[in-house]
Amino acid sequence: MVTRFKTAINTLASALVALILTGNAVLAQPTNNYEPELAWDGNPDLNGIWQAIGTAHWDLQDHEASAGLPEMGAIGAVPPGQGVVVGGEIPYQDWALEQKQENWANRLGADPETKCYLPGVPRATYLPYPFQILQGTGKIMIVYGYAEANRTIHMDKETPEAAPLDTWMGRSHGRWEGSTLVVDAQDFNGEAWFDRAGNFASSSLKVTERYTPISPDAMMYEATIEDPAVFTRSWQISMPLYRRLETNARVVEYKCVEFSEEILYGHLMKKAEE
């Protein structure tokens, strides 16, 4: 009886392993063989409303649940989540790791998001709000809801041009490599964070993004981060993006400045006389 029971368990385990492996193969097949619909210019059609699902906007790396705003209980806490950093490690230089830890300790007032500043790249992509991609003639525009952020990807510049000045969103130049939109973004002001955990870069940051359709309603987003002033080597993040399928889906502006005035300008306000 015991022998037959063990045999049955082993058979069931083998079947489950085979099912999992088969399922993975089935899931992987559309990704590898998917041929996206083409836009008017003969390139993959990325037009639409997209959004990331996950906890990368809290922390790019694996993280446990933690208290964010203790006075708000669970509403203000940070949920646990799986990281999106390839290999799991952000290769900070020693001084930069200390700065990151200091950012985390002071995050409630230091995070640029709390002040309604533009989110930068790649953070704008995985904030918990939808964004819209619009393919045009020689340009691709991405419109984000948060803080009315947007960026233009210049597809018509054979030689990328430097921006006249550094900005929160930087300057983006793109090209197609097969079905993948590749975007080089740089000329940042070095003030943006990558997430609420305090991960950051300097104005030397260069981001190489890859947008690859993997199904009619999903694409893989990958970004290579380079900043020799902060990191010991380049590193990557990777996550899927999903098309919003609601009827008349749209990006609704999140005008957040009015909610940040006390943090930004409270020290300048005239105090009422007692």
pLDDT in tens, 18-37: 443 433 333 333 455 899 99
pLDDT tens track for 139-148: 999 999 999 9
Q: Taking all residues of the chain, what is their mean pLDDT, rounded to a whole number? A: 87
| Predicted local confidence at residue 254, as pLDDT | 93
Distance of CA 44 to the CA centre of its chain: 21
Residue 56 burial (C-beta neighbours within 10 Å; 0-12, 13-18, 19+): buried
Classify 88 in phi/psi space as left (phi over 0), alpha (psi -120 to 50) or beta. left
| Predicted local confidence at residue 15, as pLDDT | 43
pLDDT over 90 percentage in the chain: 72
**Using an 8 Å Cβ cutoff, are 230 and 220 in contact?**
no
| Predicted local confidence at residue 32, as pLDDT | 59
pLDDT tens track for 74-85: 988 999 999 999
| Predicted local confidence at residue 242, as pLDDT | 98
Report the chain (274 residues): mean pLDDT per 10 consecutive residues.
47 42 37 84 95 97 88 88 97 98 92 95 97 95 96 89 91 96 97 97 98 98 98 98 95 90 72 58
**Using an 8 Å Cβ cutoff, are 207 and 185 in contact?**
yes
